[in-house]
């Protein structure tokens, strides 16, 4: 995955309570940008979540015509993810950017049950997300 700083919602953002991503992305003048190459939205834990309680995280993709997000619309969201799953390297949001995007886009993180005491997130837009699975070779070479 190749990151572009201009397309990051969160760059190792500490998330210990419910909040919006540090950055939002301005797509320019509000307009129907039409169909094209799908853009991937990703979010990954760069440091494991920690909490004294049974915390959960819900991430949502939000859009609005104003940068204040006063009348935001939620385009998609994850189900509640348990703290035990939020380990370093866990990619909890991986999907194509949904239809209906307005001029501004951001992510929001909702922490449930108990606040976190640690945990950082990197999230943004990329053209192609790394999704390669690694398997054992199954190749056995003897005599060398």
Cα–Cα distance for residue pair 113/24, rounded to 1 Å:
26
Q: What is the CATH number of the domain that holds 119?
A: 2.60.120.1110
73 located within any domain: yes
Whether residue 34 is predicted with pLDDT greater than 70 in this model: the reply is: no
Please state, as a whole number, how many other Cβ atoms lie within 10 Å of the Cβ of residue 9: 27
pLDDT of residue 99: 87
Residues 130 and 1: beta-carbon distance below 8 Å = yes
Higher pLDDT: 29 or 98? It is 98
Based on the structure, what is the number of domains in the chain?
Answer: 1
15 located within any domain: yes
24 located within any domain: yes
Higher pLDDT: 34 or 25? It is 25
Residue in 58, 23, 60 with CA at minimum distance from that of residue 41 = 60
> Confidence class of residue 124 from pLDDT cuts 50, 70 and 90?
very high
> Confidence class of residue 30 from pLDDT cuts 50, 70 and 90?
low
pTM for this model (two decimals): 0.85
User: Per DSSP, what are the bridge partners of residue 75?
Assistant: none
What's the burial of 16, exposed, middle or buried (CB within 10 Å: 0-12/13-18/19+)? middle
Domain that holds residue 79: 5-30+39-126
132 located within any domain: no
Cα–Cα distance for residue pair 13/46, rounded to 1 Å:
9
> Confidence class of residue 71 from pLDDT cuts 50, 70 and 90?
very high
24 token code pair: 């939002």
Lowest model confidence (mean pLDDT) among 28-32, 74-78, 88-92: 28-32
84 located within any domain: yes
Cα–Cα distance for residue pair 31/39, rounded to 1 Å:
17
Cα 114 to chain centroid, rounded: 21
Whether residue 109 is predicted with pLDDT greater than 60 in this model: the reply is: yes
84 token code pair: 């035990």
Cα 65 to chain centroid, rounded: 21
């Amino acid at each position: 995955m190749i990151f572009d700083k201009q397309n990051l919602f969160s760059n190792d953002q500490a998330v210990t309570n419910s909040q919006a991503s540090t950055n939002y992305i301005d797509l320019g003048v509000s307009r129907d940008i039409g169909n094209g190459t799908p853009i991937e939205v990703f979010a990954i834990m760069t440091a494991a979540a920690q909490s004294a309680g049974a915390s959960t995280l819900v991430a949502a993709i939000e859009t609005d015509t104003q940068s204040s997000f006063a009348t935001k619309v939620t385009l998609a969201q994850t189900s509640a993810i348990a703290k035990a799953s939020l380990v370093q390297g866990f990619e909890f949001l991986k999907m194509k950017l949904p239809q209906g995007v307005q001029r501004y886009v951001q992510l929001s993180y909702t922490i449930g049950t108990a606040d976190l005491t640690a945990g950082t997130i990197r999230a943004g837009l990329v053209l192609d997300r790394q999704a390669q699975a690694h398997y054992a070779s199954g190749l056995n070479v003897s005599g060398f």
